């Protein structure tokens, strides 16, 4: 019996209390010295780093690589406001020693199972997404054209869905587009009755840091 291959990819890591999805964009404020170094290095080399969730002092093992899309502002003390774009999911196997102040880890890449997306699931997810953003993000978030296949993947739809942080992490770790669509449909169907409350709508509207494309 052959032993499984040991992952050899080493990735610089930024543990943070956010979940980045492939195709999503997040604004970040960089203030720690080690992450100023990380962002400057990645910006100069046009390379990615791994954004991985830290929640209740626990580092999760599934993350997403982040490409620096824009440095919005540099402050005199080196702090930065940036926007990152999610690229590819990975699984963290262990942290490794490195000659720089930020974390690095040994990772393997995550891919979905090879399956055809269920068209009925996709259509239902888009319909619910459009109903949700019409109520919660009135006029701010564009509705998705049901015929725009590029825009209707689950990772796009979930960005404006009112999911809690841990739900987003569960969603990120799923290895099937159909599972993600089913999860999203169930989530949105459960939320819709709550949208009669103005307070609930306000909470869902602000519980979201993703930048609309």
What is the per-residue pLDDT across 98-113, written as a single tens digit (0 to 9) for each? Answer: 899 999 999 999 999 8
Cβ proximity of 164 and 108 under 8 Å: no
pTM: 0.91
Burial 139-159 (b: 16+ CB within 10 A, else e): eebeebeeeeeebbbbbbbbb
Residue with tokens 């929640």: 55
Where residue 27 falls among pLDDT bands split at 50, 70, 90?
very high
CATH number of 9-109: 2.30.130.40
Q: Which helix (H) or strand (E) is 73 found in, with range?
A: strand 58-74
- Choose among 88, 87, 71: nearest CA to 30: 71
Rounded to 10 degrees, what is the CA torsion of 69, 27, 59, 48?
Answer: 10
Angle between helices 119-136 and 198-206 (to 10 degrees): 110
Residue ranges covered by each domain of the chain: 9-109, 119-206
Of residues 14 and 8, more confidently modeled: 14
Structure token digits, residue 73: 């502002």
> Mean pLDDT in the chain?
90
């Amino acid at each position: 019996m052959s032993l499984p291959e040991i992952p050899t990819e080493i990735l610089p890591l930024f543990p943070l209390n956010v979940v980045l999805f492939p195709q999503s964009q997040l604004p970040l404020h960089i203030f720690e010295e080690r992450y100023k170094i990380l962002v400057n290095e990645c910006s100069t080399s046009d390379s990615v780093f791994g954004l991985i969730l830290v929640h209740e002092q626990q580092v999760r093992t599934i993350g997403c690589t982040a490409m620096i899309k824009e440095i919005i502002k540099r402050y005199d003390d080196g702090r930065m406001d940036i926007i990152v774009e999610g690229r590819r999911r990975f699984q963290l196997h262990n942290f490794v020693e490195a000659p720089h102040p930020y974390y690095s880890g040994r990772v393997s890449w995550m891919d979905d199972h090879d399956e055809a997306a269920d068209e009925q699931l996709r259509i239902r997810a888009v319909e619910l997404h459009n109903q949700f953003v019409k109520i919660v993000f009135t006029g701010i978030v564009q509705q998705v054209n049901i015929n725009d296949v590029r825009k209707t993947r689950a990772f796009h739809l979930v960005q404006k869905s009112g999911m809690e942080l841990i739900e987003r992490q569960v969603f990120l770790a799923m290895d099937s587009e159909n599972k993600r669509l089913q999860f999203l449909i169930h989530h949105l169907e459960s939320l819709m009755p709550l949208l009669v409350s103005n307070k609930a709508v306000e909470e869902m509207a602000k519980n979201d840091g993703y930048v609309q494309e």
